[in-house]
Amino acid sequence: MNPALNSGLNSAVNAGMAPVATPWFFYVLAGLAVASGLLVITRRNAVHSALALIVTLLAVTGLYLMLYAPFVAAVQIFVYAGGIMLLFLFVIMLVNIERSSKDRQFNRMWPVGLAAACALLALFVTAFVKGKALFPDRMISLPESSNTQQIAGMLYGEAGRMGEYTFAFEIASLLLLVAILGAVIMTKKKKI
Amino acid sequence: MPNFIMSYLNSKDAITPGAAGSQFWALVYVFIIFTGVSVAVMAMNWLERKALAHFQIRLGPMRVGPHGLLQPIADAIKLMLKEDIIPAEADQFVFWVAPLIGLLAAFTVYTVIPFGPSQAVSDMNIGILFMLGVSSLGVLGIVVAGWASNSHYPLIGALRSSAQMVSYEVAMGLAVVSAILMTSLNATGTGTLSMIGIVQAQQQQGVWFIFKFFPLGLIAFGIFAIAMIAETNRAPFDMAEAESELTAGYHTEYSGLRWSLFMLAEYAAMIAVSSIAVALWLGGWMRPFPNLLNAPAWDFIFSLFPALTFFGLAAIATVGVVRMPAHSFFKIQRIGLAAFAALLGFIALVLLVIAIAGRSADASVAARFREGIDYVYWFVFKVAIFMYLFIWYRATWPRYRFDQLMKIGWKVMLPISLVVLIMTAIVGVLVS
């Protein structure tokens, strides 16, 4: 066997070899994401929708892994599939399913929806046809093994200098902190 | 031998089959781990019933096999043959799929558990995040099971369990982060999230993280050890299945095989979280004092431990044979236990032969095999201690009240883990 394979996928990618069965994994994951995404909006039962949404999120996680972004994939599982969907289910479970399943499911706004869908389709087609000219050519070939470290470098800075996105990151974290505090204060019964 | 089998065995550097791109060996490891965990769950089931019984001055299972050794197998057969009842008003599909969610989450985690530097299915760059994330998906199975049962007690149990798991995940995550911070105290200043990398960092720094920055590592470990009991819904935090209040909590309506899948998932998750604790704080696969007592003689002495353990178990079984009442009723049991003792002794003998044959530190097959057995032995040994602790806690402590549980989680554990995290960061900066 080629010795390059022994030292892992990274070197295999660097050596210009395609990872194993990539297109098939992509088709399966993308198909799963689309199919379960359709289930999310067509199911009448809200809990079924939530479960389908979890499948969608996990399929997208697989796509992240294929793009050599393991950190984003892990955060996707952790935050969305694990945390947020749990809270969704938590709330939905307490809703009266019997009544909500009799409600009308879709808004009668299909002209607007059609326009939006067409615009999105046009965008996708443009990106597909002229993709090479639209996007910068320097595709960062992040080796999978240092993806997390590179993200950390961009956010917190490395080797004594500030990271590219440190300021934006701090602002965002401040915003989140304020939101958390707001949630805590709003749920308090007594006025402070 | 085909090339896809041999190329991984012949590679000189010790890497996991996942990292080496060897699908065949990754599959073999998956099968070994799946079988091992299933057997461990059965053994744990027997040990728990036996140990709990002895804590309460009872005998525990005694009828099926000598000292009830075959009880888990009998239980498994019984559960498989039982009727699988789905309540008429239940949500059929969700009811059917809920145990599988928990089981999948519990077993997927095992892909990154480092039984040794190359004894894992794969080494992920995001190992610990992957473990925490996927094991947190297990709660979805519980919540959905409680809802799909369409019954009061399961729903309350599911709500309790999800609230509890979400609350304790926070303290757990912060404790884990403080351990990960410690991995960055090396020359490059870059830490790692890889499970294997975390254990190797402990080896490089020459200290288990539980003893690092004493008492900071110890406190973080303590928080994790408490949170992991709450995460796996075990006593004294088993509010989700408090039988005096909720019958059986979220799995009240389940029966037969589907119920046993919940049990399997629960025990598999217990082993998984214990493995995280072992890898992060207790040096993973490392034997005691790998840097201090690093002479080849010490290596040899410590490599005798697996054989000695099995000899000890065989000795205990032999004592059982000798002490068996001399009545003709016990004849078959006596023969069975003697055969079990002989089997344990045989395993011990094989391990002893391997330890002696592979005592040289070269790269021969025997030496590598011996090394691998040592790694797996020490890892499993440390996890087994945690498994026993789970039983011990259950026998010792009364169940908490739900509001007490929440109070401890949010008002005690969370602030302490935050302080430990900040202190670890400060001390780490001061030291480096």
Contact indicator for A89, B143 with CB cutoff of 8 Å: yes
Asked whether residue A129 is assigned to any structural domain, the reply reads no
Nearest to B243 by CA among B340, B351, B154: B154
Asked whether residue B390 is assigned to any structural domain, the reply reads yes
pLDDT digits (tens, 9 = 90+) for B245-278: 777 777 888 888 888 888 888 899 999 999 999 9
Asked whether residue B14 is assigned to any structural domain, the reply reads no
Residues B250, B229: Cα–Cα separation, whole Å:
17
Segment B14-23 shows an average pLDDT of: 75
* Record: contact A148-B23, CB cut-off 8 A: no
Q: How sure is the predictor about A105, in pLDDT bands with cuts at 50, 70 and 90?
A: low
pLDDT digits (tens, 9 = 90+) for B112-169: 888 888 888 888 888 888 888 888 888 888 888 888 888 888 888 888 888 888 888 8
Asked whether residue A131 is assigned to any structural domain, the reply reads no
Asked whether residue B28 is assigned to any structural domain, the reply reads yes
pLDDT higher at B2 or B38: B38
Residue of A nearest to B124 (CA): A145
The answer on pLDDT for B7 being more than 80 is no
* Record: contact A144-B125, CB cut-off 8 A: yes
pLDDT cut 70: percent of chain A above it: 75
pLDDT higher at A135 or B135: B135
Residue B144 at interface with chain A, using a CB cutoff of 8 Å: yes
Asked whether residue B305 is assigned to any structural domain, the reply reads no
pLDDT at B82: 87
pTM of the model: 0.85
pLDDT at A11: 41
Residue of B nearest to A146 (CA): B125
Which of B1-10, B143-152, B220-229, B379-388 has the weakest average pLDDT?
B1-10
* Record: contact B23-A20, CB cut-off 8 A: yes
Nearest by CB to residue A70, choosing from B13, B126, B148, is: B126
pLDDT higher at A128 or A29: A29
* Record: contact B21-A144, CB cut-off 8 A: no
- Identify the contact set of chain A against chain B, taking CB-CB distances under 8 A: 1, 5-9, 12, 20, 45, 47-48, 51, 54, 70-71, 73-75, 77-78, 81-83, 85-87, 89-90, 93, 144-149
Own/partner pairs, A40-46, CB within 8 angstroms, 24+ separation: A44/A101, A44/A105, A45/A97, A45/A101, A45/B91, A46/A92, A46/A95, A46/A97, A46/A100
Asked whether residue A34 is assigned to any structural domain, the reply reads yes
pLDDT at A144: 58
Q: How far is CA B147 from CA A48, B90, B151, B159, B255, in A?
A: 11, 9, 8, 9, 16
pLDDT digits (tens, 9 = 90+) for B308-330: 999 999 999 999 888 888 888 88
pLDDT at B175: 92
Residues of A in contact with B125 (CB under 8 A): 70-71, 144-148
Mean pLDDT (chain B, rounded) = 86
Residues of B in contact with A147 (CB under 8 A): 125
Count of structural domains, chain B: 1
Nearest to B211 by CA among B129, B292, B296: B292
Asked whether residue A161 is assigned to any structural domain, the reply reads no
Asked whether residue A77 is assigned to any structural domain, the reply reads yes
**Under DSSP, is residue A2 helix (H, G, I), strand (E, B) or coil?**
coil
Asked whether residue A61 is assigned to any structural domain, the reply reads yes
Amino acid at B270: M
What CATH code is carried by the domain that includes residue A37? 1.20.120.1200
Residue of A nearest to B137 (CA): A82
- Please report the DSSP string for A86-153 in residue order: HHHHHHHHTS-HHHHTTS--S-S-HHHHHHHHHHHHHHHHHHHHHHHHHS-S------GGGHHHHHHH
pLDDT at A101: 66
Contact indicator for B417, B226 with CB cutoff of 8 Å: no
Q: How sure is the predictor about A139, in pLDDT bands with cuts at 50, 70 and 90?
A: low
Which pair of structure tokens corresponds to residue B279? Answer: 């890898």
Q: How sure is the predictor about B383, in pLDDT bands with cuts at 50, 70 and 90?
A: very high
* Record: contact A71-B91, CB cut-off 8 A: no
CB pairs under 8 A between A and B: 97
Asked whether residue B12 is assigned to any structural domain, the reply reads no
Dihedral angle, C-alpha A92, A93, A95, A101, nearest 10 °: 80
Supply the range of the domain harboring residue B220. 21-286+375-431
The answer on pLDDT for A2 being more than 60 is no
Residues B231, B386: Cα–Cα separation, whole Å:
14
Asked whether residue B395 is assigned to any structural domain, the reply reads yes
pLDDT higher at A98 or B222: B222
Amino acid at B423: M
Count of structural domains, chain A: 1
Residues of B in contact with A90 (CB under 8 A): 143, 159, 162-163
Residue B190 at interface with chain A, using a CB cutoff of 8 Å: yes
Supply the range of the domain harboring residue A63. 1-106
Nearest by CB to residue A78, choosing from B132, B146, B166, is: B132
pLDDT at A57: 92
* Record: contact A78-B124, CB cut-off 8 A: no
pLDDT digits (tens, 9 = 90+) for A140-191: 555 656 677 778 888 887 766 777 888 888 999 999 999 999 988 888 776 5
pLDDT at A130: 81
Residues of A in contact with B137 (CB under 8 A): 77, 81-82
Residues A167, B5: Cα–Cα separation, whole Å:
51
pLDDT digits (tens, 9 = 90+) for B164-215: 888 888 899 899 999 988 888 877 777 888 888 888 888 888 888 888 888 8
Which of A101-105, B46-50, B193-197, B231-235 has the weakest average pLDDT?
A101-105
Residues of B in contact with A7 (CB under 8 A): 13, 15, 20
Nearest by CB to residue A1, choosing from B3, B126, B136, is: B3
Nearest by CB to residue B20, choosing from A8, A74, A83, is: A8
Nearest to B278 by CA among B183, B383, B171, B132: B383
Contact indicator for B191, B181 with CB cutoff of 8 Å: yes
Q: How sure is the predictor about A56, in pLDDT bands with cuts at 50, 70 and 90?
A: very high
Segment A83-102 shows an average pLDDT of: 76
Angle among Cα B248, B232, B255 to the nearest 5 degrees reads 35
Q: How sure is the predictor about B382, in pLDDT bands with cuts at 50, 70 and 90?
A: very high
pLDDT at A1: 32
Which pair of structure tokens corresponds to residue B350? Answer: 């094989």
Q: How far is A184 from chain B (nearest CA, A)?
A: 13
ipTM over 0.90: no
* Record: contact A47-B132, CB cut-off 8 A: no
Asked whether residue A166 is assigned to any structural domain, the reply reads no
